[in-house]
Amino acid sequence: MQEGDVLTRRYRLVEQIASGGMSAIWRAFDQSLHRTVAIKVLDGCVGGDHGGRDLIRREARATARLIHPDAIEVYDYGETVTARGRLAAYVVMRLLDGRPLSERICEEGPLPWREAAVIAARVAMVLAAAHQRGIVHRDVTAENVLLTPEGAKLLDFGIAAFVGEEVDQRLADFGTPPYVAPERLTSSSVHPAVDVYALGVLMYAMLTGEHPYPETTWEALEAAHRTGPPPVPRAPGLPQEVADLCASCLAQDPGDRPTAHYVAETLTASLSAFLTAGRETATWVRRARMASIAAVMLATWTAALLWIQPNGRPPVTASVTTRPPDAAPATPTASASASRHSGALDEPIPGDGRGAGASPVPTLTRLASEPPAPSKAPPVPARSTAAERQRTGVPASARPAAPTLTQAVGRFDATLEAGEYLGAIRSDVALDLRQVVHNLLKSPDDPVRGLTKVREKLDDREREGGLTPDVRKELDRGLTLIGAALQRSA
Domain 99-274 has CATH 3.30.70.20: no
- 137 Cβ neighbours under 8 A, 6+ residues apart: 127, 130, 154, 157, 160, 195, 198
- Count of CA atoms in the C-beta half-sphere (13 A) of 94: 18
Determine phi and psi for 486, rounding to 5 degrees: -65, -40
**Does an H or E element contain 429, and which?**
helix 427-442
288 pLDDT tier (thresholds 50, 70, 90): low
Task: Measure the CA–CA gap between 89 and 87, rounded to whole angstroms.
Answer: 7
The pLDDT of residue 424 is 84
Among residues 92, 156, 97, 171, the alpha carbon closest in space to that of 123 is found at: 156
Marked catalytic residue, from 30, 43, 97, 139: 139
Who has greater pLDDT, 23 or 434?
A: 434
| Residue 259 pLDDT | 95
Domain ranges of the chain: 6-94, 99-274, 283-350+358-370+398-489
Mention every residue, 6+ apart, whose C-beta is less than 8 A from residue 358: 282, 284, 324, 325, 327
Nearest Cα neighbor of 130 from 258, 262, 264, 260 is 260
Better pLDDT: 77 or 316: 77
pLDDT of residue 294: 57
Helix/strand number for the chain, H first, E second: 15, 13
Q: What integer best gives the mean pLDDT of the chain? A: 74
What pLDDT does 239 receive? Answer: 92
Q: How far does the chain reach from its first CA to its final CA, in angstroms?
A: 38
Q: How far apart are CA 468 and CA 150, in angstroms?
A: 20
Query: Active site includes 139?
Result: yes
3-state class percentages of the chain: helix first, strand second, coil last, to nearest 5: 45, 15, 40
Q: What is the DSSP string of 362-386?
A: EEEEEEE-PPPPPPSSPP--SS--H
- Spatial contact of 205 and 106, defined as CB atoms under 8 Å apart: no
Confidence of residue 138 (pLDDT cuts 50, 70, 90): confident
Cα 86 from Cα 81, distance rounded (Å): 5
Residues 6+ apart with CB under 8 A from 283: 276, 359, 360
Angle of helix 405-422 versus helix 283-300 axis, rounded to 10: 140
Query: 82 falls in which pLDDT band (50, 70, 90)?
Result: confident
pLDDT in the model for residue 202:
96
Confidence of residue 172 (pLDDT cuts 50, 70, 90): low
pLDDT at 348: 38
Q: CA 445, CA 409: separation in Å to the nearest integer?
A: 18
Residue 241 has pLDDT above 90, yes or no: yes
**Nearest of 162, 247, 233 to residue 200 by alpha carbon:** 247
- The CA distance from 159 to 55, in Å, is 7
pLDDT of residue 227: 75
Confidence of residue 195 (pLDDT cuts 50, 70, 90): very high
**319 pLDDT above the threshold of 70:** no
Per-residue confidence (pLDDT) for residue 392, from 0 to 100:
43
CATH code for the domain defined by 6-94: 3.30.200.20
Gap between the Cα atoms of 7 and 14, Å rounded: 12
pLDDT at 238: 93
The model's confidence at residue 434, banded by pLDDT at 50, 70 and 90, is confident
Q: Provide the pLDDT for residue 188.
A: 66
